[in-house]
Amino acid sequence: MQHVIIVIHLMLVLSLIGVVLLQRSEGGGLGVGGSGGGGSFMSSRGTANVLTRATAILAGLFFATSLILSILAGFNRKPTSILGGSGPSAPISAPGAPAGSGGEGGLLKQLQGAPEPAAPSGPVVPQSK
């Protein structure tokens, strides 16, 4: 189902790009020329109306397929927690930690059990000899 919508989405993207490039710009740089006179269907005014409507319809379909794809992507997503649960397959130890302290919360457990360092008595003054 998702693959079909992706293919439709890509076809909409390509056709939207084509329709936008066919439109007459203010300077007439990329627009399809043709200064055919009269009020026929494909005159400059008629072409602009058709291309404007086609752009609006294709843009609406593009947004619709984008929303459908994002909803379909959310169905397979399972909520996970970053705090607990299964960790990586191989425990990773923190840099500078002893080799046996890896695993989940190993460094935290090691720091909780460590005695507090002694507070410095004052500023250290260099001694000259």
Question: Per-domain residue ranges for the chain?
Answer: 2-27+42-75
Q: What is the 3-state secondary structure (H, E, C) of 42-57?
A: CCHHHHHHHHHHHHHH
- Which one has a higher pLDDT value, 128 or 40? 128
State yes or no: pLDDT of 111 exceeds 90: no
* pLDDT value, residue 58: 95
* Per-residue pLDDT at 113 exceeds 80: no
pLDDT per residue over 30-73, tens digit each?
545 555 444 445 556 666 788 899 999 999 999 999 999 999 98
> Which pLDDT does position 75 carry in this prediction?
84
What per-residue confidence (pLDDT) applies to 92?
56
Question: Cα dist. 96→84, 91, 92, 93, 102 in Å?
Answer: 24, 15, 12, 8, 11
Judge contact between 76 and 30, C-beta under 8 A: no
pLDDT tier for residue 78 given thresholds of 50, 70 and 90: confident
What is the average pLDDT across 85-110?
57
Residues whose CB is less than 8 angstroms from the CB of residue 107 and which lie 6 or more positions away in sequence, other chains included: 93, 94, 97, 101
Would you say 20 and 11 are in contact if contact means Cβ atoms under 8 Å apart?
no
What is the value of pTM for the model shown? 0.48
